[in-house]
Structure 1
Amino acid sequence: MKKFLLFILLFQIVQFAVTAQIQCGPMVGYSEMKEVMLWVQTQKPSKVKFVYWDKENPAIKYSTAEAITNKHDGNVAKLVCDQVTMGKKYDYEVWVNGKKVARNYPLSFQSQELWQYRKDPANFKFAFGSCNYINEPETDRPGRPYGGYQEIFSAIYQKQPDFMMWGGDNFYYREPDWNTRTGMIHRNTHSRSIPEIQPLLGSVHHYAIWDDHDYGPNDADRSFWNKDMSLEMFKLFWANPNYIFENEACTGTFQWNDVQFFMLDNRWFRTPNDNHTGDRAFLGQKQINWLIDALTGSKATFKFIVCGGQVVNPAKVFENMATYDAERADLLKKIADAKVPGVFFLTGDRHHTCLQKLERAGNLYPLYDLTISPFTSGPSKPIKDENNSPIVDGTLYTERNFAICEVTGSLKDRVLKITVYDTKGTQVWDKDIHANELK
């Protein structure tokens, strides 16, 4: 009996030692028909791989390549599962230094389905939001903590979205962070390591853009001296499927069933807010030209343009695109001239939530802008200069929150259902928008 108890104790010690080798994650990244990316961060340099299997056929195991994490890259491993079959659900394990790492929550992912020319696209849902501040007393500003209510990530997880779209300010660099690689790795690691977020990372696919706070200092723009390193950190800690411009910006795109997301960068090309000496860029013509080309070429039912700052709001306040009025007018005109159906903006930044609806002349459908903010940062309210902003009645919410967006129905009659929830997962408001309204 004593030998048995000793064996159990040694087994538990070994399991704890192996589990402790993971700093945070694993995280499920992008999903495609032929591959899925998985991400994990270890506490020290280690050999890492993932083992995965079709839930319907668990006897056959597949394995990714093996990676060796290193301190220079934050001990991060990003590995591709390239033996997946279209439209399947998988379970997976993390192996560190030859041993399976136990996690006390499900680890799973899914590959996308080939539905085109065969049937209607499947229903799906995704989580959306922005502004996640994780407190750290030694680097926070003095006084009342700015962040809080981290249980919001448990509430998101309980809604079981297929994927999550992070809308910027996904963490907040502080003064000790943005000048050095060491500081940037620390902040990314610190924000991703909270226990409440681990189950959400493990079985929900994640995509991201950035805004100023996870790019550099407050209101950072194209002049940020360390933006090349910041982009390197973004690519290291997220698992997006592509980046449109080589070594520039976090711009990218992906599809999920019949919907396409156009992930924009409102920082890399941005003219400083107070520089009025010439043409002023919010997105920059290079990025806008790509966007219009991509929108016109897309056959997606809904075309979600994801941007860190509000676009539809005409109020020239804070860092709305309206403060760059010439470029905003140019963007809206190009969208109108291209006669692109299904355009819908997803934005963050403002630390409150609302749905805005911009009516357009000439029999054009209205442009919606769904702002969801904040996750855990301090909330705020619109200011008096925004009294005439086109906020849809009943959608303004000024506490911490998140959104679940569901796309349902036949291909000819797809419906977007937006539901906003508070930090505990209690519904605040909902709204249905039919794709046929955006034609």
Structure 2
Amino acid sequence: MRRLFLWLPIICFLACQSVKQRPSVSEADYVIAFGSCNNQRFENVLWKEVLKNDPEIWIWGGDNIYSDTDDMNVMRQHYNNQLQQKEYREVMSRMKILGTWDDHDYGLNDGGEEFHAKKESQQLFLDFMSVDNDDPRRTQEGVYHAEEINTPEGNIKIIVLDTRYFRSALTDTKETGKRYQPNPQGEGTMLGKAQWQWLEKELSSSRADFNLIVSSIQFLSGEHGFEAWSNFPHEVDQLKQLIATSGAKGVIVLSGDRHISEFSRAPIEGLSYPLVDFTSSGLTHSYSDFTSEYNPHRVGKVVSDISFGLLRFDFDKKEVTMQIRGRENKVLGELVQGY
């Protein structure tokens, strides 16, 4: 009996040490991953890296496939090609999928309200996202959608915008290296009347600890001369004012489109914290020849390699750790923002 008692403390010690040494998958209260610009013809080597972080949600930021067609049979096949990829099927099996579209999965490069096949394209997008047949998005115009995530520690509201279906024509520019210039003040719209009314209601009624606004194109960075909210300056002002007056807490913009990843941050009049626009792009191909681009709101460096975005929420600290991650799950950029 004496030998048994001598061994018990040792066994207990080893067992306790074993438990303590197990690595934690995530020290965050909640983890969300997102990304954009995913060509279904290319191998996506980042899905396995996404899975290493054990996120609860994957958010598509747009250009989820590259189709650029008004032939719905062709587009359907492109979506099917993506759905058949083994690594993405594992992502679907392990986390909730949300998101929006951009131009290449919408069907028309830099396209907006003028795209004649947008109603048919919308149904294929919703099929890809496994949206139920009785979901309001099946009958409404546009793919905008909101969903609240409730956890024991706190709540996150995800507000997904549609920056394609209602977007007015853009104004071409003759400036070298740029494609568009801002429309005259008050001319055109990004979201359309119905979506603006919906967005105001969703933000003003939100009681969540954090609110993510998913926009396929950049909101704060607008000097580059390509697609951005800055092409409609009056609507930039409108969204800033709405965020400031809505009372919504911890608002963060998630964007894509650019084939680079970066953090932009700016003070907003009437808002007690700075607004962050976290751009994550692209998943399968990026602007690898990137050298420079003016962005007065940039924090840190531009990442021009393939990457995805990660958000790690701490409800007690009211803090979000935002990370740009790439091959081998390497952190390529990080921004910690308190609220």
Q: TM-score range by the shorter chain?
A: 0.7 to 0.9
Determine if contact 2:59/2:99 at 8 Å carries over to the other structure: yes
1:421 paired to 2:325:
yes
* TM-score, length basis structure 1: 0.63
Counterpart of 2:126? 235
Consecutive unaligned residues of structure 1, counting only runs of 5 or more, are 1-121, 136-146
CA distance in structure 2 between the partners assigned to 1:314 and 1:290 by the alignment: 25
**Residue 208 of structure 2 is aligned to residue 272 of structure 1:** no
| Aligned pair partner of 1:248 in 141, 145, 150 | 141
1:184 aligns with one of 75, 80, 105: 75
**Given residue 70 of structure 2, which amino acid in structure 1 is its aligned partner?**
N
Q: Give yes or no for contact 2:102–2:163 (8 Å, CA) kept in 1.
A: yes
Counterpart among 103, 124, 136 of residue 30 in structure 2: 124
* Residues 243, 251 of structure 1: 8 Å contact kept: no
Distance 1:268 1:283 in 2: 8
Alignment pair present for 1:194 and 2:85: yes
Q: Which has the higher contact order (CA 8 A, sep 6+)?
A: 2
Please give the per-residue CA displacement for 1:154-200, whole angstroms capped at 9, x wherever unaligned: 111222211111111111104xxx22221121111112222332222
Deviations 1:400-424 (A, max 9, x none): 00122111243xx332111221132
Q: 182, 192, 195: which one pairs with 1:287?
A: 195
How far apart in 1 are the matches of 2:214 and 2:281? 13
For residues 363 and 185 of structure 1, what CA distance do their matches in structure 2 show? 43
The structure-2 alpha-carbon separation of the partners of 1:192 and 1:287, relative to structure 1 and needing over 3 Å to count, comes to: same
Selected match of 2:297 from 390, 406, 415: 390
1:299 paired with 2:196, answer no
Verify the 8 A CA contact 1:179 1:226 in the aligned structure 2: yes
* Equivalent position SS for 1:318: coil
Computed over aligned residues only, the root mean square deviation of the Cα atoms, in angstroms, reads 2.3
Tell me, what secondary structure is at the counterpart of 1:126?
Answer: strand
* Higher helix content, 1 or 2: 2
Conserved in 2, the CA contact under 8 Å of 1:208 and 1:240? no
Q: Could you list the per-position Cα deviations for residues 382-403 of structure 1 after superposition, in whole angstroms to 9, with x for gaps in the alignment?
A: 686x424200124x21110012
Q: Which residue of 2 aligns with 1:337?
A: 245
Equivalents in 1 of 2:63, 2:203: separation in Å? 25
- 8 Å contact kept, 1:172–1:214: yes
For 1:362 and 1:393, the matched residues in 2 are separated by 25
Matched AA of 2:162: D
Q: Is the 8 A contact 1:288 1:331 kept in 2?
A: no
Deviation string for 1:22-74 (max 9, x for gaps)? Answer: xxxxxxxxxxxxxxxxxxxxxxxxxxxxxxxxxxxxxxxxxxxxxxxxxxxxx
1:343/1:228 Cα in 2 relative to 1: closer, same or farther (>3 Å)? same
SS of the aligned residue for 2:116 comes to coil
Count of matched residue positions in the alignment of Structure 1 and Structure 2: 295
Give the direction of change, closer, same or farther, for the CA distance of 1:383–1:286 in structure 2 (3 Å limit). farther
Q: How far 1:254 sits from its partner (Å)?
A: 0.8
How much identity, in percent, do the aligned residues show? 26
TM normalised by structure 2 equals 0.80
* Cα deviations by residue, 1:5-35 (Å, 9 ceiling, x for unpaired): xxxxxxxxxxxxxxxxxxxxxxxxxxxxxxx
Aligned equivalent of 2:284, options 347, 356, 376: 376
Q: How does 1:26-425 map to 2 (within 5 A)?
A: 123-135=29-41, 147-148=42-43, 150-174=44-68, 178-240=69-131, 242-243=135-136, 246-257=139-150, 258-274=155-171, 279-315=187-223, 317-362=225-270, 364-380=272-288, 386-394=293-301, 396-410=302-316, 413-425=317-329
Say whether the 8 Å CA contact 1:185–1:233 is kept in structure 2.
yes
